[in-house]
Structures are given as structure tokens and as C-alpha cells.
Structure 1
Amino acid sequence: MHIPPASWLQPPEQQDSSEQDSAVTLLSNDRRAPDRKDFFIRARELLFKNQDAFSTLTRKSTGDQVPLRLAYFRKFWEGLDNMAYYWDDSLDDYRPPEVEADDTSDGTATSPKQDSGAIGQETRTETKTDWIAKMSSGFGSPDESEPRKKAKTEAASDQTMADSARTNGFGGSIAAQTVAITPSRVLPSRVAPSRFPNPINMEPQEKPADMSNGSYRGYRIGNGAEMPDQYRVDCVRAFVEPVAWAFGVTLAQHRRPPVLMLEHVRFPVRMSSVAWRGSQDRMKARQGWMEGPVLGVQCRPDVNFGASGNIEAESNLDAVRELGGLLLLAQERSREGRTERLAGEGKWWTTKERWGGGPGGEVEDIATPSQTSGTEPASNAQEGPVHRNVDGSRVRRRPTPAQIWKVVKPGNPLWDPKVVYEAIGKDTGSEWDDVFMVSSLNHHVSLLKLHVHSAYLDYIMYGKLPDDQPLDPGWCNPQLQRTRWFDLFNVDDRTEAMRGLWGVISYLMRAKDGGQEDTVMGGS
């Protein structure tokens, strides 16, 4: 079993030390397999409370709390802190506007209208003054014991404050009493728009209450749809990296556009990052050579599921995006021992010269005579001075558009020349491959596993059935499994996700002569 048990979340000193004398296990890259101690020193950083970790990042003490030590997952906590300003609704506090007294009721109580108006105005003034004083005293963090990194304020002039106060219905005397510092966290509360469009024949509904004069106190500065997508990518990547580094695996993006080959069609696939095994040759490692891929990381910015009214169709579309990423990784892993076949390689339109190779034509007529004259002898170096750059090098002559048009060659390569493609973790002699990917939506992650046959990959890539029918009748039925969604803001969920990720990478990076154990995936 490669997934660490739940007891590994406890300090090793409190458990039996029977594992210390066990034999050292090597990985496929000849590195020592990480043990329980390596797992715990990383997992304990995920057991911290969110507010304590955020306070450590800002270097602000919270009472008697000792500053936490964030080493392996420090970038993860920084990314989670950025996401908290859009997704952490644990301390949301929407305060509606205070209901004002009715002027007509005050007017009927007393006979003089001017006196009643003055009394009503004075009452509203006192009410607004108390409300502003209450809000001013509550400015800052909702919980003073939990400081935030982005708690910033903006200065406002007296005139600006007076104009804003008059706009909200306050008098000039109230504007003079307001504080000149307005925290950016106190924002007007907004009414969330309807997720489903209203039909034409729907009966008119009541007008929603005006919340423009209300206020919001909490951590968020916007909703989840307003969060930059890079925040999610950085957070999930920083969550996977400490686990991958323990096994000698690094994360890097594709250096060539990731496209899924479906016969003659190339589909672009979203792939945020990929885990690669480093080369054991030091010279190749310095030159940027990588091996793999091991697994992929896909983060998607979709947040408005159900906006079209068909949640099932949108869910299926999102599953297709995940399946496309898994098939892309499977195709890259199946390139082991193969050479790339360029588009149009060996065809006549990539070998024969255009129009027989003769001079002239519409393209060459556009160029200047000096560029198109084929009979004019080439310029000799002795006839004139050679133009050189400031550093003394020769000026590089760029080909003309006519010369570029005359060149015929196959399509551009899609394989990375500095990647040794290998199905890392695949059983030797087996036609089935297990492909893993970390999928992320909103502030959740899930682990996916695709069990696919090599003949199926050749079929979708070249559009031809295998000449020799595979013995396994299920070769044309890939199997997809996934875990539940783990919330990164929840301590139990993120530690459970780390255990699963640790087990997946441990299974893929096992030695070739290791056992035939499989990784247990929850759900299907």
C-alpha cells in the first residue's frame, strides 16, 4: 500500500520506532524513498489553522501564539491567503441599511409641520451618528486576533467625505463628524443576480430592497468569479510541489503547446503544470532535460455552473475538459521509444518545389529586382565593405518573404526535443497504463485516474483499428476514476488530499523491480 495511513499524521516520536531499522527502499530514479518522517514534517504545516498561518505570513503576533514555521508549504499558504480574499466567507457580515422613521407619522403627532420636520431630522441625525460611530469603531479586521495581509486603508479628504455623506442622505453636520480614514474592507453589500434568466412570460416580481446604503464586514474584497485565475494555479501548484520534491519530481509547464491529437485534428488542452522526473545525468539536468510526464495539474476558472439552466450539460462539458487532459498525458506517455511523425512528412507537397521550382511568379514579381534576379552574380566580399554590428559580428541577412514562400517542409514539431518521453510507473510488458491528474475548481482539488489501453490511444491518434485484435476485450473502454472534491480551506480535507497525492506519486515512482501493488482510488 503506497498511501500513508492516518497514523502518519501524528509525530513519529509518539509511535513505535520499529520502522527505523527497516531496509532502505529506492525509487526509479535511484533516490531513497521518503519515509514517515519526511511525510510528517510536510503534513504538519497543513494542520495549522488558517488564521494562525495567515498571521505568520504578516508577522503579526496573535496573543500568546508562537509564530509558526512555514518551510515546505509557505508558498501554498501565500496562495491560499490570496484566494481567501475572494472565497473565504466564514466571517461574512452583511449589514442592511437602518430603517428611517416615517416623516408622515412624525408630522401627524405634532401640529406645526416645521417643528415636526426639525424633530424628525434631529432623530435621523442621531441615528446616523450612532451608526457611523459604531461602524468606525468596528473598522479593521472582523477579528482583531486574526490580522490580515491586505488590510489597507485609503485616505479621503473632508470634501470627499462630505459629498459621499450627502449622497447617502446625511446632513452636512454629519459629514463633518465622519472619520477621514475609510477602510477598503467596508464595502456596500450587493444583491446577487439571478443565476437563471427570467422567461418573458414570467410574472413580474417585487423590486429587491435597496442595499446600496448597507455595508459589508469580512475578509473578502470580491466574489469568486472576480478572482484572477493565476491565484488558483499558484496555490494548487504550491500544494503539489512539496510532495513531488520529496520524490525527486519537479513541476514545469509545457514548452510546446499542449494539443490532443485526434487523427487529423489538434485540440488545444488546458494543462496548468506537469510533474516531470529530473534527469540523472547532471549535464542534461543543467540543460533542462526532463523525463516523463509523471502526472498533470489542471486548474479551470469556471465558477458559474448552472447559469445556462442546464447543469447536466455543463457538468458533462467540464468532465470532457478533464478527460482531454488525461488523454493528452496518456499520449505523451505512449511516446516512449518512438520518433515523432511530422504532419505531411514524406508527402509530395512537402518535398516538391512550388510550381516546379522555376523562377518568377506572382510572389517574386512583388520583390525588388535585386532580390529576384537569379542571373545576377552574388556580391563578392572584395567589391565592397562588409556591414558589421557594433560588437564586430556580421549583420545577419534575413530571408525575404519570397524566399520563405519557396521553402517547403513538413509541419512544426509538437514534441519537446529536451524531454525523454517515458511512461513512468507503468508495469513492464503491460498494455494498460494508469494516468493521474490533479483537477482543481474554485478552491477544491480532486485526484483523477484513467486506465487506458495502448491500442485505444493508437486508434484515436491515427484513426485505424489495430491489425491484431488485443486479447483483452475491454481495450476500447477506458476506465475513469476520481476522488471526492477536497476543500483547501478545510484542515481535514487538505491533509486527506495530501495523503492521496503522496500515495499516487509513491506508486508512480516505485522501482521497476517493485511489487505490482495498485493505488486504491475512492469513488468511480
Structure 2
Amino acid sequence: MFGGWAHVASLPEDLTGKERVPPPAPTQLDFPSYTPQHSPSPLTTASSRDLFHLLCSIKKPQDITPQYLQILSLSVIPNASFQDLLPHVTEPVHQGGEHVPPPDRLQQTVQELRISHSDAFREVVRLPPLPGHAKPRLSRTRKFWTGLQRMSQFWDCSMDRYYEVADTEDDSSSSSGSSDPDIEMSQSDQSPPDRLPSSSSPDGPQPAKTKQVYKGRRLNDGSAMPSNFRDEAVSALVECVVWAFNCQVRAPNLPPRLQVRNLLFPVRQSFIVGRLPRERELGRRAVLEGPVMGICCRMETIFRPDCMTANGEVGGSSGYGMKLSEVVDEWRGILDLAREVGVMLLLAQERAREGKGEVKPGEGKWWTATPRWGGGPGGLMESEILTAGRDVVDEDKIATPPPSENASADESVDGTTPKPSSTETLLPRAATHPPVRPKRKAIRDISDNNERGGVQHKKGSKPTQTEKWKTLRSGPGIWDAKMRYMRIGAPKSISQAASPSLPPSPAHAEDKAEEIEDQIFMVTSINHHVALTSMQVSEAHLAWLAGEERKDEEREQGLQLKRTRWFDLFDEADRVEFVQGLWDVMAWLMRE
């Protein structure tokens, strides 16, 4: 019964010892190198409108130009340290606080990350350890090693080994051919007559035919790797750190969209890091607090123009011969930077929703409150409701029609009912006296339902398509119902200003004119590398994106993005350094 399943499930095997056809050449590592340095500019209403029109005009990725980053007044600081990402604050970080775990948990995670690739990969694919090696224990980092083992099949070149072996395919094909002499004779007659004789004499040694084979971990090149392999490895590595701080990594429940005025611009956000609430009921509903930070993974592997030559000139059919410093076609690097900025601005908008209520599109407008379906009962729409296949009438509550006033005329003087005539006997009673059909409950309630903005239906019954169409309601919101928006890690002045229940701090009451900035963090990933980015977004920037007019709009404001260097996940020292730096950032966000 289950014999056929053995051919479907593949047994675990060690790819490093399997001889096979060489995979494609390894994908060359390439990283975006576009670093604009725009000076701060005023956040005016005109510039906000210009950004809105530019975003509306995008039809393809090549439409992203440096003009977008220039309007944002964006500057980039690459190769920053983890301490440079944190703002200069005087608030102490309590390492033994309620939300900060002890350093022992970090040491356990680092110890598992220092395991050799061969031992960890054999453990996740359930192979016995190598002779003389102990079985590793993977408790906190098993999901990361599973994702890294899948990535190694496309990126890990450390075990690549190419060599030549004797090619026996021709001999086997000739020996397995037909032995019929007639077929062999016909095949010899079809050989071309002008074939040149072999250069080697029949008496001399014949050169052995060889072919190239491969042993290693790779099955294909890095550009062919599915994007979910990178997503699993990066999210698992981040979760190794944030889980110790009572936080969780999950995918967005709604499509990530950046709001610029009344435009919802889609951005590429892979995961969200949120804090688990203390309330047990909210925890059962999978509600998170935050977002604390975001994760953005990209599958692109080329970030420079395809026409770039080795000497730094741009070739192609145009033939302009421009130098590398004059190239303006680095749209891949600009696009990648724009994606990072878009996700970080979205995180800033979500964190700024603390203490506020969602206003859905069209809420309170006349087109979501005033019925406008012709008025009055009856008509085509009403008949569709009655014939929708749903019984809206309670048969027990249908009242029988009252007796008519002339009922006594139909009775005889002695109180007996007279016999019907011959004509009445031939015709059914329904034809002579058709009964008065009671008016259905849906007909009686249509006018009342229209006044209340929709059709009311019985409890437990599904509304029809007509009822759904006639229901007046506002558009769907863009807030996640399973996210309690909070500015976790922000200065106390921001939280008090955002929450109406908390009184403003006296120390910051006089500094109202000074803009308060929120620190946004995001883990970004390219190829098999990760980095941590940080950006400070002020209230003026959020109001400028929403199109609100401010009195201090002439004040110069700029965005500054800081990014660490790229850490290689296949390098032991790099991934340990990244985890330790991320631990320090989380400790600062979860400070008392």
C-alpha cells in the first residue's frame, strides 16, 4: 500500500562526496554602492506635492531616479559601527532589567553559531556525525542552520572541487547499441564520404577521453536560489536574538504600503519584529506590540549597469564613452536604496500611530452614510433580494388575513355554508378566489434598512450579493488589527506626546518647537550577507508625507541613513559579530 512512497521521499545524503556534473559558475558578489549626500532642504508643501506626483508616475523600476532621494534630502553613511547607529542619549541601559535577558543567553547563541558548517549541516539533514566528531547540540539556532544549509547549495564555494575523469559514455553507448549486422551496415553507409582520416596512427596510443566532474555543496549558482531560502535564514538569525527579549518575528498580515498624502505606495517588507504583550488574551489572538524593527530581504544580485566595461567606461551601441564617475544609469543601486528608505519610513509611520485611532477611507463622508438607491420599496433590487434563495420570512409569525366584512353574505340563514355551484365545482377555489399573499418581512423592512444604510438580515444567515452591494460602509483600513502600535525604545517625550492619556513632561514642555525624532532600525539582506540600518525620522517628516501644513515648514530637514558593513553569513566571525551588535541594539530598545 505504501510501497510507492519510498520513491518520492529522498533520503538525506552528503553532497560534498557525490560526484556529479559541474553546476554553473558561482555568482559574483555585488553590492549597491550608490551613496547620495544631499544637504537638508525645507519640507514645503510644494515638495510634498512633487513627491506625490513622482510616485504616481512610476510605471517600471527604471523610473526611479535620484530626484526621489533628492526631494527626501537623503544622505547615506556606509560602514558605520553598531554604536554609531544608536543616538547619543544619557538614559542608562540596565542589562539586568525586566526586558533585558542575562548575558548567558547571548553566550549560548554565540557558542552554537561557532559550530563548523560540516557538523551543523549534517545535523540538520539528520546524518550521523563524521568519525571523531561529536554530535552538535542545536537548540536556539536550528532554524538558522537549516536555512543556511539550503543557501549553501547555491552560494557556498568553500568545498568546490573540479577534476577530470575518464569519459566512458561513448563506450557504453556503443556497447549498448544494436548487434544486428544489417543495421550496422546501413549506419556505415550513411557516414559522410569526405570524412578526413584520424591524425593518430592505428598503431600509436589513442588519447583517453576525459570529462570534468564536480564535488561540493553547490547545485546551482546564487542568482537561481529561491528567495524564501534567504528569508528563512535571515529571519531565524534575527529571531535567535529578539526571542530572548520577549519579541517575535512574523510576516506582515497586510500588504506593506507607504502613505504619501492619499497615495498608498507598495514597499518590499519581508518581516516585522514585535514584542509579545503581557495580556494573556492578546497573546492568544497573536497580537504584537511595536513594530520594534523591520527586516527587508532582496533577491537581486546585480547593482551596476550591465554595459560597464573593465576599464571603467560605458560601452554599448550609444558609444558615448562616459567615465564611471559620470554614469547616471546606476538605477539598480538607486532602486535598492529607495526600497530601504521606503520600508523605514513605513515603520516610522506605523510607530507614530501610538495613542491614535484609525480613520478609514471615506469614514464620516456622505457617500458612506447617505442611502441613494432610488428610495421607496419595490423595484428590481428588491425583487432580487426576495429571490436570492434565502428565506427571510418567519412562517410562524405570518398573520392570516382577517375575514372580510361580507363574510355573512356567504353563509345561509341557518349558519351553514351553501353548496358551490356547478361553475365553482369545475374551477379550483384558488382560481375563483385567489388568496391574498402576505407581504414578506423583507419588503416591509427595505425602507427602514435603506435609512439605516444597509439591509439587515437574520442572525446566522449569510447576506446575499445584493445585500453586500447595497450596504453602506467605509473603505478597508490599512492598520493591522493584530498589531498594537507602540514606539518601543523611543524617548519618553515622544511617548508622552503621542499618548493622550499621559501628561507631557515638564522638562520637554518648553522645547515644543524642537522636533522629536524617532530612531528606526531595520535588518537588510543581500546575497548571503546581512547589515543593520538606522534612520531618525522626525514628526515634521511624517506630517510632510501626509501633506499636512505646518508653521515651521521652512525649517531645513534631512534624512540620514546609517548602514553597517555587510556581514557574511557563511563566515563564523561575521555572523557572531552581527549577533552581538544586534543584541546591543535590542538591549538599548528594551531599556527601562
Same fold (TM over 0.5): yes
5 Å-filtered alignment, 1:207-356, equals 214-306=212-304, 308-309=306-307, 312-356=330-374
Distance 1:108 1:442, change over 3 A: closer
Q: CA deviation at 1:89?
A: 1.4
Q: CA deviation at 1:489?
A: 0.3
CA distance in 1, matches of 2:262, 2:473: 18
2:491 alignment counterpart = 427
Matched, 1:464 2:528: no
Judge conservation of contact 2:235–2:271 (CA < 8 Å) in 1: yes
2:16 alignment counterpart = none
Look up the equivalent residue of 1:53 and give its one-letter code.
A
Q: CA deviation at 1:372?
A: 11
Query: CA deviation digits over 1:74-107, x for unaligned, max 9?
Result: 111111011000111123234579899xxx9984
User: Percent identity over the alignment?
Assistant: 36
CA distance in 2, matches of 1:351, 1:123: 92
Judge conservation of contact 1:26–1:510 (CA < 8 Å) in 2: no
What secondary structure sits across from 2:275 in the alignment?
A: strand
Q: CA deviation at 1:222?
A: 1.1
1:370 alignment counterpart = 387
Q: 1:39 aligns with which of 85, 106, 128?
A: 106
What secondary structure sits across from 1:353 in the alignment?
A: coil
Q: CA deviation at 1:345?
A: 1.3
Q: CA deviation at 1:319?
A: 0.8
CA distance in 2, matches of 1:453, 1:95: 59
Matched, 1:61 2:129: yes
Gaps of 5+ in 2: 1-80, 84-92, 169-194, 308-327, 400-457, 495-515
Judge conservation of contact 1:326–1:436 (CA < 8 Å) in 2: yes
2:464 alignment counterpart = 400
Matched, 1:74 2:89: no
Look up the equivalent residue of 1:428 and give its one-letter code.
K
Relative to the length of structure 2, the TM-score reads: 0.58
Q: 1:417 aligns with which of 467, 475, 481?
A: 481
2:587 alignment counterpart = 506
CA distance in 2, matches of 1:264, 1:498: 39
Distance 1:109 1:426, change over 3 A: closer
Judge conservation of contact 1:87–1:443 (CA < 8 Å) in 2: yes
Distance 1:411 1:327, change over 3 A: same
Look up the equivalent residue of 1:507 and give its one-letter code.
W
Query: CA deviation digits over 1:405-449, x for unaligned, max 9?
Result: 211211112212332211000001142100000011111101010
Look up the equivalent residue of 1:276 and give its one-letter code.
G
Judge conservation of contact 1:364–1:372 (CA < 8 Å) in 2: no
Distance 1:344 1:45, change over 3 A: same
Query: CA deviation digits over 1:167-188, x for unaligned, max 9?
Result: xxxxxxxxxxxxxxxxxxxxxx
Look up the equivalent residue of 1:510 and give its one-letter code.
R
Matched, 1:83 2:151: yes
5 Å-filtered alignment, 1:88-127, equals 88-95=156-163, 107=198, 110=201, 116=202, 123-124=206-207, 127=208
> Greater CA deviation, 228-237 or 396-405?
396-405
1:483 alignment counterpart = 564
Judge conservation of contact 2:261–2:545 (CA < 8 Å) in 1: yes
CA distance in 1, matches of 2:154, 2:389: 61
CA distance in 1, matches of 2:567, 2:378: 66
Q: 1:449 aligns with which of 515, 529, 534?
A: 534
CA distance in 2, matches of 1:482, 1:502: 16
Matched, 1:438 2:523: yes
Judge conservation of contact 2:251–2:272 (CA < 8 Å) in 1: yes
Q: CA deviation at 1:300?
A: 1.5
Q: CA deviation at 1:357?
A: 3.8
- Flag the structure with more relative contact order, 1 or 2, with Cα contacts below 8 A and sequence separation at least 6: 2
Look up the equivalent residue of 1:465 and give its one-letter code.
E
Q: CA deviation at 1:25?
A: 4.5
Judge conservation of contact 2:96–2:102 (CA < 8 Å) in 1: no
What secondary structure sits across from 1:51 in the alignment?
A: helix
Query: CA deviation digits over 1:7-41, x for unaligned, max 9?
Result: xxxxxxxxxxxxxxxx97554xx33x223322211
Q: CA deviation at 1:281?
A: 1.8
CA distance in 1, matches of 2:481, 2:330: 41
CA distance in 2, matches of 1:381, 1:26: 69
Query: CA deviation digits over 1:279-313, x for unaligned, max 9?
Result: 11223222322211101111112224346548621
Q: CA deviation at 1:381?
A: 4.0
What secondary structure sits across from 1:448 in the alignment?
A: strand
Query: CA deviation digits over 1:252-295, x for unaligned, max 9?
Result: 22222221111111122222211111111223222322211101
Look up the equivalent residue of 2:237 and give its one-letter code.
F
Look up the equivalent residue of 1:236 and give its one-letter code.
V
Distance 1:234 1:311, change over 3 A: farther
Look up the equivalent residue of 2:548 and give its one-letter code.
K
CA distance in 2, matches of 1:364, 1:328: 45
Look up the equivalent residue of 1:316 and give its one-letter code.
I
1:141 alignment counterpart = none
Distance 1:67 1:265, change over 3 A: same
CA distance in 1, matches of 2:361, 2:392: 37
Judge conservation of contact 2:230–2:528 (CA < 8 Å) in 1: yes
Query: How many pairs does the alignment contain?
Result: 378
Distance 1:317 1:107, change over 3 A: closer
CA distance in 2, matches of 1:436, 1:285: 24
Judge conservation of contact 1:342–1:412 (CA < 8 Å) in 2: yes
Judge conservation of contact 1:250–1:276 (CA < 8 Å) in 2: yes
Relative to the length of structure 1, the TM-score reads: 0.65
Judge conservation of contact 2:305–2:330 (CA < 8 Å) in 1: no
Judge conservation of contact 1:251–1:274 (CA < 8 Å) in 2: yes
